[in-house]
Amino acid sequence: MISPCTASALGRRLLIRDRYPFSPRARTLRANLAKLRPERVREPLPPRKVLRHCEQQPLEGTALGR
């Protein structure tokens, strides 16, 4: 009998090398691995920053500031 930690490591290796990661076999394996060792809960990302267009005047003597 192998330990849950070893089974989890072997299963994750299989999933990484799997040619079809969304196949029914891979989904079943992923679900069983989640029962053995659940993924860590990630903290949510910070809110996105609103970027505004540059408010500077074009430089004189360039193609933009003719």
Tell me: the pLDDT tens digits for 3-53? 777 777 777 777 777 788 788 888 888 888 888 777 778 899 899 887 766
Q: Where are the domains of the chain?
A: 4-36
**Is this model's pTM higher than 0.85 or not?**
no
Structure tokens at 13: 């290796």
> Quick one: tokens of 63?
């193609």
- CA-closest candidate to residue 16, choices 30, 35, 32, 6: 30
Q: pLDDT category, 59, cuts 50, 70, 90?
A: low
| Rounded-to-integer distance, Cα 15 and Cα 34, Å | 13
pLDDT of residue 33: 82
- Is the model's pLDDT at 61 over the cut of 70? no
At residue 31, the 3 state secondary structure works out as helix
Residue at token pair 């090398």: 17
